[in-house]
Amino acid sequence: MTTDQIHWLSATELAAAYACGGLSPMDVTRTMLDRIAAVDGCHSGFETVAADQAMAAAKVATEEIAQGNIRSPLHGVPIAVKDLYDTAQLRTAAGTRMLRDNVPDRDATVMARLNAAGAVLLGKLKMTEGACSLHHPDVAPPLNPWGHEYWPGASSSGSGVATAGGYCFASLGSETVCSIRYPSALCGLVGLKPTNGRVSRAGVFALAGTLDHVGPMTRTVADAAAMLAVIAGVDDRDPSALSAPVPDYTAELARGVAGLRIGYDPAFNSHRVKPAITAAVEAAIAVLADQGAEIVEIKVPDCTAALMAAAITLHAGIAHAHRDYFPIHKDDYGPELRQYVEVGQTIAGADVAAAEEQRRLWSGQLRHLFAGIDLMISPTTTFTESVMAERPAGPANFLKERVLAPLRFTFPYAFSGHPAMTLPAGFADTGMPIAIQFTGPHLGESDIIRAGHAFQSATNWHLQHPATD
């Protein structure tokens, strides 16, 4: 790889180059900042570029690595994060206008952990307003580097665009419905939504607290494993963070899939799904079977009731999250987020209670499903691409079947808190990425990582990059 292609290295490859003295964090960080200044305007992924802070962190990392003091696999690796993570002395607006002057005095827990690991923060990435579906009308939306006419996904839009476009080596997204997995799938990335509570949400702007997840968006499974290992774990600032020990996720990469029981439901994977996606899932099954995985045919429980319950929980959660801002700052809201809040304010307590009961039932159904398998393979999306001009331009809400139906591979598992990972598995005729997904039982990230890495070790879909140079 030539020096002008450094940005296409994986974070793991970059760390190896640092260790052998082939590259330095200062040189790489400067290269990335120059690239952002020269090219990111074409894709508009960054909300804020923190050049001075990044170079200062890179200088420290360069000195420490030269002394053999390597903090983690992310030491000296330039990353970026979605603009809803509190960053001390750096604006955090969460895609809103009401927080446009918000400069936190303390880092979110995950940011503190990334800083302690020696990662270099390049800046904050654009996102949809308040982590809903659309960007605030005042914001120029990020553009998918694989094709500007196609939707890059939401709400971690900038995270998908910047990571896929080679403007950072990895990023943090967040997910409540599909916001890690959709941008990752549509931009050709690995997106890992961990078990609910596996990663602390302290210092993270909420969309709907009981549904929100924090997770990495990367170009390889190995990078996602390294990032999760850094950010996961118990946190005194977030009592909902799980106390379960954090495994060495990077050690799972070498284990392969021999003996791993992978479930698939042919009807679930193909119903109203683009044939190219179903074919990609079937091809992935063959790859994993060749490596010794045990493929088990299953029947996924009907998620219709879970989807509607999740939508009720989402809207009620949005109204609660905005209780200090709405309607005081109503004029700062875009039309979509405003309607989400207003719909949430109309939901009765009895409906929320019924939704929570449905969450308990749905989680129980999945517990029985995963009793016979280690993980499940499926599509991530029902479609291979979505034309930007066809995206809804006005307010909407999730309490509609037409909105919920395409989300059946993502939203039900955010609702139940199960871990899931999307990864690239091909390309459509339009040249846009196709994705597959692994979903596992609670705290089943290790097996998901095993399967994902095994698939990437046998394929090269993740090595393809959009023409952004």
Catalytic residues: 82, 155, 179
Structure tokens at 426: 């091909």
CA pair distance 253, 92, nearest whole angstrom: 34
3-state SS, the chain, equals CCHHHHHHCCHHHHHHHHHCCCCCHHHHHHHHHHHHHHHHHHCCCEEEECHHHHHHHHHHHHHHHHCCCCCCCCCCCEEEEECCECECCECCCCCCCCCCCCCCCCCCHHHHHHHHCCCEEEEEECCCHHHCCCCCCCCCCCCCCCCCCECCCCCCHHHHHHHHCCCCCEEEEEECCCCCHHHHHHHCCEEEECCCCCECCCCECCCCCCCCEEEEEECCHHHHHHHHHHHECCCCCCCCCCCCCCCCHHHHHHCCCCCCEEEECHHHHHCCCCHHHHHHHHHHHHHHHHCCCEEEECCCCCCHHHHHHHHHHHHHHHHHHCCCCCCCCHHHCCHHHHHHHHHHHCCCHHHHHHHHHHHHHHHHHHHHHHCCCCEEEEECCCCCCCEHHHCCCCCCCCCCHHHHHHHCCCHHHHHHCCCEEEEEEEECCCCCEEEEEEECCCCCHHHHHHHHHHHHHHCCHHHCCCCCC
How many C-beta atoms lie closer than 10 Å to residue 343's C-beta?
Answer: 21
Q: Between β-strands 420-427 and 433-439, what pairing exists: parallel, antiparallel or unpaired?
A: antiparallel
Q: Please state the separation of Cα 225 from the chain's center in Å.
A: 13
Facing residues of 217 across strands? 171, 191
